[in-house]
Amino acid sequence: MHEQALIPNLFRTEYRKIVSVLCSTFGIDHIEIAEDIVSDTFLTATESWSINGIPENPTAWLYTVAKNKTKNHLKRDQLFQQKISTEIKYTSSNTEEFDIDLSQKNIIDSQLAMMFTICNPSISKESQISLALHLLCGFGTQEVADAFLVNKEVVYKRLKRAKEKLKTEGIKIEQPSVSQINSNLQTVLTTLYLLFSEGYYSTSQNAILRKDLCEEAIRLTSLLLENPMTNSPSTNALLAMMYFHSSRFNARISENGENILYEEQDDTLWDHALIGKGIKFLNQSAFGNTLTKFHLEAAIAYWHTKKKDTGEKWENILQLYNQLLQIEYSPIAALNRTFAFAKVRGKSAAISEAEKLNLMDNPFYYSLLGHLYTDINDVKAIENFEKALKLSNSSSVSCTLKKYIDQLTEKNQ
């Protein structure tokens, strides 16, 4: 691989690993130092490799340079050395005796510790996702900004506030205890769920970024399964849901960037290998006595991988949505339930169900009503599609809505 392509790829895969280990070693107060050391490591790689060529083992080269830069920092900064001496058990004046453990096991352990630190209830969900993207996924500030559809300065301030909050709360980066896992695992899973949703339901036009977000959420959830203490039914259910949704990723967007409704998707584009993985983890989630929202959403996503439009399929989906809304109500889940309700009870009955929701600021609410009114009252269908268009902040969604409006207008001329 050419140096220009290799470094960005290694930055994504290795930056997060080295940062996690250094953060775990130095403690939460020194996150910025850890990031500076790793950033400087990649800068050195860029300069060195462009002159001397790519080393035989680029990853090992990065790890060696990161270790050396850490030792150099300790030599230069005696105050820093004193502050972290108790945390890293560094008491000798000989920095050569100090080493950073970049073994595969310690990388995994450090990332797990970082996950539980970042997903602390003391900081907002947005901040948790931003920190996860930045520290656990290796996303730059601009990439995080693109994911949230905000400017870079907003993300920079959000990350800074979140780090400061963790410091003032005295949160330590350490392997979570059994009690911490029992009390905080659902928070971690919710953050990963939201991270996946940022990719899967994002209105960003950057398809590569959207896929990256989903893949990172899958990677981090898979990481939890490698630890017996976090390999829970909920974790398996969440991963199953992610695989089921990801299996239809390529069928959801047209070549022109338009959203494709579920009923119009080409199921030959569905990834059946991912569906198989989803089934595997859904089966593994079916032990224990706890039913979570992740179990229900995974089951709903499973039924959506069945292309054949049967009464059994939509009745099952409707009942699963009924259970989901009892466990945790959300407007989007309520809207999706109404779509299933229409399949089971018919469009007319579904219209009255949908209008009870009264989600006047939600473009998907009006879009759903537009579809329900189509062929029943096309004038009202157009009115609702136009309301959805005014509220939409996505060019691909807007393009799709305009197409529906044009089709109905032409049909009724």
Question: What are 255-311's pLDDT values in tens digits?
Answer: 777 778 888 889 999 999 999 999 999 999 998 888 999 999 999 999 999 988 877
pLDDT at residue 199 in the model? 84
Query: For residue 118, is it left (φ>0), alpha (ψ between -120 and 50) or beta?
Result: alpha
pLDDT at residue 320 in the model? 98
Q: Are 118 and 112 in contact (CB under 8 A)?
A: no
Q: Which residues pair with 259 in a beta bridge?
A: 253
Classify each residue of 363-375 as buried b or exposed e, where b means 16 or more C-beta atoms within 10 Å of its C-beta. Answer: bbbbbbbbbbbbe
* Cα–Cα nearest to 240, from 297, 158, 157, 165: 297
* Per-residue pLDDT at 154 exceeds 90: yes
pLDDT at residue 253 in the model? 81
Task: Spell out the domain ranges in the chain.
Answer: 1-102, 119-221
Distances (CA, A) of 205 to 192, 199, 393, 405: 22, 11, 11, 22
End-to-end Cα spacing for the chain: 58
Helix crossing, 3-26 with 78-88: angle to 10°?
A: 70
Helix crossing, 347-357 with 331-345: angle to 10°?
A: 160
pLDDT at residue 142 in the model? 85
β strands within 85-244, DSSP E? none
For range 375-384, the mean pLDDT = 96
* Per-residue pLDDT at 91 exceeds 50: no
Residues, the chain? 413
Q: Round to whole Å and give the CA distance between 261 and 27.
A: 47
Which amino acid is residue 204, in one-letter code?
Answer: S
DSSP string, 275-323: HHHHHHHHHHT--SS---HHHHHHHHHHHTT--S--HHHHHHHHHHHHH
Q: Round to whole Å and give the CA distance between 8 and 42.
A: 9
Q: Which residues pair with 33 in a beta bridge?
A: none
Q: Round to whole Å and give the CA distance between 403 and 79.
A: 64
Sequence-distant (6+) residues with CB within 8 A of 122 are 165, 166, 169, 171
pLDDT at residue 204 in the model? 61
Sequence-distant (6+) residues with CB within 8 A of 246 are 200, 214, 218, 271, 274
Q: Which residues pair with 253 in a beta bridge?
A: 259
Cα dihedral: 221, 227, 232, 237 (round 10): 30
* Per-residue pLDDT at 87 exceeds 80: no
Question: Given pLDDT bands bounded at 50, 70 and 90, which one contains residue 357?
Answer: very high
* Per-residue pLDDT at 89 exceeds 70: no
Q: Are 118 and 136 in contact (CB under 8 A)?
A: yes
Q: Which is more confident, 1 or 65?
A: 65
* Cα–Cα nearest to 130, from 144, 151, 112, 146: 144
For residue 180, what are its two tokens?
A: 């911490």
Q: Are 86 and 24 in contact (CB under 8 A)?
A: no
Question: What are 105-127's pLDDT values in tens digits?
Answer: 999 999 999 999 999 888 888 89
Q: What pTM did the predictor assign?
A: 0.87
pLDDT at residue 261 in the model? 81
Average pLDDT, the chain: 88
Question: What are 205-245's pLDDT values in tens digits?
Answer: 666 667 888 999 999 999 999 999 999 999 999 999 999 99
Q: Are 158 and 126 in contact (CB under 8 A)?
A: yes
* Per-residue pLDDT at 332 exceeds 60: yes
Q: Are 318 and 340 in contact (CB under 8 A)?
A: yes
